[in-house]
Structure 1
Amino acid sequence: MVSLNTTQLEGLIGMLFVLGILALLVLPSVFGIVRDRRIDRQLREAEQGPANERGPSENQKSSSRSTVPSTATWYAEGRRSKKLVSS
C-alpha cells in the first residue's frame, strides 16, 4: 500500500477540488449542447414532414370544442385596432 505524506495528500485534495469545480463549470455547457442537438434533430424531422402523408388517420378524432381566440389574441387585436385609429 502506498503511504501519502501530508504534502501529497494536500496536493491530491487540491487537485480533486479543482477537478470538481471544472466539472461544475463544464456540465451546464454539455447539457446545453445535448439539448440543442436534440432540438435540431426534431426540427429536421419536422421539416421532412410526417412519414404518412395521407392525412389524419381514421382513428384520430377532432376536438368537439369550438375554437375561441385566446385572451392574448383578443388583447393583441384590440391594441392593433387602437394603433390604426390613432395614426
Structure 2
Amino acid sequence: MHTFLNYLVVLAVAALLLGPSLYGVARERRIDRQLRGAAAGRSKARRAQKSSSRSTVPSTATW
C-alpha cells in the first residue's frame, strides 16, 4: 500500500512540474499555426491583388 502511495506522489509531483511546460508548448504551437495561417492568407490576398486587371488609379470624376 505504501508503494502505491509513493507512486501516486511521484506522479503528482511530475504532473505539477511538467504541466506548465506542456501547456506552454501547446500554446506556442497554437500561436505558430495562427501566424502561419495569417501569413498564408496575406500572401493569397497579395497574389489576388496583383493579378487583378483593374486599374489602381483613383477616379478623378467630381460630382
TM-score interval, smaller chain: 0.5 to 0.7
> TM-score by structure 1 length?
0.46
Which residue identity lines up with residue 26 of structure 2 in the other structure? V
Unaligned 5+ segments in structure 2 are: 55-63
Determine which structure has more spread, i.e. the larger CA radius of gyration. 1
Unaligned 5+ segments in structure 1 are: 55-87
Query: Corresponding residue for 1:28?
Result: 24
Aligned positions of 1:1-87 closer than 5 A: 5-49=1-45
Write out the 4+ residue segments of structure 1 that deviate beyond 3 Å after TM superposition: none
Q: State the number of aligned residues.
A: 50
> TM-score by structure 2 length?
0.60
RMSD of the TM alignment (CA)? 2.4
Relative to total residues, which structure has the larger helix share, 1 or 2? 2
